[in-house]
């Protein structure tokens, strides 16, 4: 068993060097597919992450109070809101507490807030809804109360974000499926050329008693190696992209949604398993497909 494995590895590497051009084409094809998959993976996961953060904020309404609204007046407003059947609870948030929460949302970039001369955030009331459908009514009711400066409630914008997230997911699945099919075809053609170039050798091996799997082994390993190398290349490129460009999008996400992006370490650890599994599977399937046609596997 071990001897056959070493033989398959040796022959696979030997054949890959013999067919350098097609091997490089296969590696480039799968790497490109996995790179695009990785970019869509980054985009989809981060949009879902931001959407979930927005949805957790969506069941609450921020009622910002005027600077001259006292704590006693704020309690009166809170009691009025609590009497509504649509409201599950009301919490008073001081400007100091709001700043701490804002700093926590900024994560590692929280130190940027240290340069502020004074706290610009207002005192507020955080109103928790019993159901999202009551948001518009509670928001309008809050705006009519004395001592209220503004009300933050972005139902329309959030619905747009959720629709965009769903559309991106569907589009990504279609593109990924297409790229997987293209990669399988390219690998299959690479192995097909190998089989055609070694037909006489394969016939001799069968005549002297070689089993089918002894003949197929090196070809299957060749496809898996192509997929493995492609996965490593694509993972390295994705690391560079997410590490260097991610900072810019993190700042944009903080500015637009008050939310960080998913940590690079978490993203790339999961992506490594996906790439290796998918790359090796594409290589193996492409090899098997070619062998079924030309070796009657």
Are residue 162 and residue 283 in the same domain, yes or no? Answer: yes
Q: Which two tokens stand for residue 121?
A: 């955030």
The token pair at 43 is 């985009």
* Domain count within the chain: 2
Q: Tell me the C-alpha distance between 184 and 227, whole Å.
A: 10
- DSSP for the chain, please give it: -HHHHHHHHHHHHHHHHHTHHHHHHHHHHHHHHHHHHHHHHHHHHHHHHHHHHHHHHHTEEEEEEPTT--HHHHHHHHHHHHTSTTEEEEEEE-HHHHHHHHHHHHGGGGGGGGG-SS--PPPEEEEEESSGGGHHHHHHHHHTSTTEEEEE--HHHHHHHHHHHHHHHHHHHHHHHHHHHHHHHHHHHHHHHHHHHTHHHHHHHHHTT--HHHHHHHHHHHHHHHHHHHHHHHHHHHHHHHHHHHHHHHHHHHHHHS-PPPPHHHHHHHHHHHHHHHHHHHHHHHHHHHHHHHS--
Starting at the edge strand found earlier in the chain, the sheet holding 148-152 runs: 87-93, 124-129, 60-65, 148-152
pLDDT band for 211, please (50, 70, 90 cuts): low
Q: Return the pLDDT at 297.
A: 46
- Which residue, of 154, 181, 208, is where some domain finishes? 154
Average pLDDT value for the chain: 76
Name the token pair of 39. 């970019």
Tokens of 207: 């005549």
Q: Do residue 163 and residue 180 come from a single domain?
A: yes
Q: How far apart are CA 149 and CA 62, in angstroms?
A: 11
Structural domain ending residue among the three candidates 120, 139, 154: 154
Residues 109 and 31 in one domain: no
Average pLDDT over residues 268-275: 82
Residues 194 and 138 grouped into a single domain: no
pLDDT of residue 238: 84
pTM above 0.95, yes or no: no
CA distance 133 to 249: 31
Residue 239's domain comprises 2-54+158-294
Q: What average pLDDT does the segment 213-217 reach?
A: 69
pLDDT, position 26: 77
In this structure, the answer to whether residues 210 and 239 fall within a common structural domain is yes
Both 7 and 129 in a single domain? no
Final residue before a domain boundary, out of 154, 189, 213? 154
Angle at 63 between CA 97 and CA 146, to 5 degrees: 120
User: Residue 173: pLDDT above 60?
Assistant: yes
256 vs 204: which has the higher pLDDT: 204
- At 252, the pLDDT band (50, 70, 90 cuts) reads low
- The answer to whether 187 touches 284, Cβ cutoff 8 Å, is no
**77 shares its domain with 49:** no
Q: Is the pLDDT of residue 226 over 70?
A: yes
Q: Which residue has the higher pLDDT, 6 or 263?
A: 263
Does residue 213 sit in the same domain as residue 89? no
C-alpha–C-alpha distance, residues 202 and 212, integer Å: 10
CA distances from 261 to 2, 30, 39, 205, 245 (A): 46, 27, 14, 56, 12
Residue 290 vs residue 242, higher pLDDT: 242
- Are 275 and 206 within one domain? yes
Same domain, 290 and 237: yes
* pLDDT for the residue 56: 66
Q: Tell me the percentage of the chain whose pLDDT exceeds 90.
A: 1
Q: What is the pLDDT of residues 87-121, one digit of tens each?
A: 888 989 888 888 888 778 777 776 667 767 787 88
pLDDT digits (tens, 9 = 90+) for 18-63: 767 777 877 887 788 788 878 877 777 777 777 667 666 667 888 8
Question: How crowded is the C-beta side of 167, counted as CA atoms within 13 Å?
Answer: 6
Domain of 125, CATH number, reads 3.30.70.3040
Same domain, residue pair 127 and 196: no
Question: Residues 122-165: pLDDT tens digits?
Answer: 888 988 888 777 888 888 888 888 888 888 886 666 677 667 77
pLDDT of residue 8: 64
């Amino acid at each position: 068993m071990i001897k056959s494995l070493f033989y398959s590895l040796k022959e696979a590497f030997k054949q890959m060097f013999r067919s350098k051009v097609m091997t490089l084409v296969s590696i480039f094809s799968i790497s490109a597919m996995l790179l695009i998959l990785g970019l869509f993976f980054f985009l989809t996961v981060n949009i879902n992450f931001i959407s979930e953060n927005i949805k957790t904020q969506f069941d609450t309404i921020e009622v910002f109070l005027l600077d001259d609204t006292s704590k006693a007046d704020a309690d009166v407003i809170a009691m009025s809101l609590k009497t509504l059947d649509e409201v599950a609870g009301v919490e008073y948030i001081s400007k100091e507490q709001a700043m701490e929460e804002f700093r926590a949302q900024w994560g590692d970039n929280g130190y940027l807030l240290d340069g502020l001369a004074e706290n610009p955030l207002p005192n507020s009331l955080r109103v928790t809804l019993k159901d999202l459908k009551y948001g518009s009514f509670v928001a309008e009711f809050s705006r009519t109360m004395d001592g209220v400066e503004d009300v933050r409630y972005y139902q329309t914008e959030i619905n747009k974000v959720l629709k965009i997230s769903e559309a991106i997911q569907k589009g990504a699945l279609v593109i990924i499926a297409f790229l997987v099919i293209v990669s399988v075809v390219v690998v299959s053609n690479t192995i097909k050329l190998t089989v055609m170039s070694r037909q006489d050798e394969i016939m001799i091996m069968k005549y002297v008693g070689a089993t089918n799997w002894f003949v197929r082994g090196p070809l299957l390993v060749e496809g898996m190696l192509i997929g493995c190398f492609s996965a490593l290349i694509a993972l390295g490129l994705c690391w560079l992209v997410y590490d260097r460009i991610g900072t810019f999008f993190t700042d944009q996400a903080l500015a637009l949604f008050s939310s960080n992006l998913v940590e690079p370490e978490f993203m790339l650890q999961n992506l490594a398993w996906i790439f290796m599994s998918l790359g090796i599977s594409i290589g193996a399937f492409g090899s098997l497909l070619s062998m079924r046609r030309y070796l009657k596997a």
